[in-house]
Amino acid sequence: MKKYSALFHSFISQYFVYRSHIILWRLRQILSFLLMHYFWSAVYLRRQELFGYTQSEMITYILLIFVFSNSIFSSKTFEIAEEIIRGDIMNKLLKPISYFSYLVTRELADKTVTLAFTFVEILILSLLLKPEFSPPVNTTAVVLSLLQLVIGLGISFFISVSLSFLAFWSSNIWAPRFMYLIVASVLAGNYFPLDMLPRLLYIGIILTPFPYLMYLPARMYITGIPEEYWYHLIISMFWLVATYLIAQKMWRKGMKEYSFFGK
């Protein structure tokens, strides 16, 4: 464990080497939240409720999405593709550590830094904007919401890793990653609660892995445990296992076919 603890602290220290990058990165996240906050505040100017959500519930939803998206979409997995293309991955494989454990440690460090900044930003924004937040329905809803978020983090991690493993066969992996981010942002409920959509479309999206990244944890926190929770849990666990198996298969197949010639 000591070597992974040392790796964890090393990864965290790397973030503070380029301070201007961190400032611009966090500024972009704050502006995104402010845009969504003022948009939904304007929508609720002449109405008390929209699609079953009150204004306080919608503001709480976008706040939760702000936190969840920072943990879901903030990832260092894109570096895997760069390491494969440059051949740097060989240096990682020669070290006496598990490569997947290395990736998980790097990901945990990334999310630790991201969430630390996120909570400070939430505190400052709450003091400035003084929004009316909706409290959780009960403790059970909070606990199961966090459990669902952990499952979503796992799904997102394995999807991102699999996309990076495409670099074993092609150097052009940015197009599929970009498409994934666009699709995931919309279908994960990054801009609005998915149950605002027509029922048939909503049912179709629920069968995909994306709603379990952010939408379902946020919805459970606000409205409580839905009647179909066990159905959602089964689907999300299926995607967690499926994405893990896909990532493992791509890794094994990629390592068998991978070759790199240094200068």
In whole angstroms, give the CA distance from residue 207 to residue 163.
20
Q: What does the alpha-carbon distance between residue 118 and residue 135 come to, in Å, rounded to a whole number?
A: 19
For residues 42 and 91, give the distance between their C-alpha atoms in angstroms, rounded to a whole number: 53
pTM of the complete model:
0.87
**Token pair for residue 141?**
């809803």
Cα–Cα distance, 26 to 28 (Å, whole number): 5
pLDDT at 124: 86
Q: At what angle do helices 215-223 and 55-73 cross, to 10 degrees?
A: 150
As given in the structure block, the two tokens for residue 149 are 């978020």
pLDDT of residue 263: 46
Instruction: Return the amino acid letter for 149.
Output: L
List all residues 6 or more positions away from 107 whose beta carbon is below 8 Å from its beta carbon: 75, 76, 77, 157
Q: Which phi and psi angles does 171 have, rounded to 5°?
A: -85, -10
* Nearest alpha-carbon partner for 136 in 126, 148, 145: 145
Output the CA–CA distances (angstroms, integers) from residue 73 to 78, 90, 131, 175, 197, in the order listed: 11, 26, 25, 16, 23
Q: Specify the 3-state DSSP secondary structure of 184.
A: helix
4 near 99, Cβ under 8 Å? no
* Angle at which helices 55-73 and 99-129 cross, to 10°: 150
Residue-wise pLDDT for 83-108, tens only, equals 888 877 887 777 777 888 888 888 88
Low-confidence ranges of the chain (pLDDT < 50): 263
Q: What is the DSSP string of 68-98?
A: HHHHHH--STHHHHHHHHHTTHHHHHTSSS-
- Identify the DSSP state of 4: H
Q: What is the pLDDT of residue 27?
A: 83
Token digits of residue 214: 């952010």
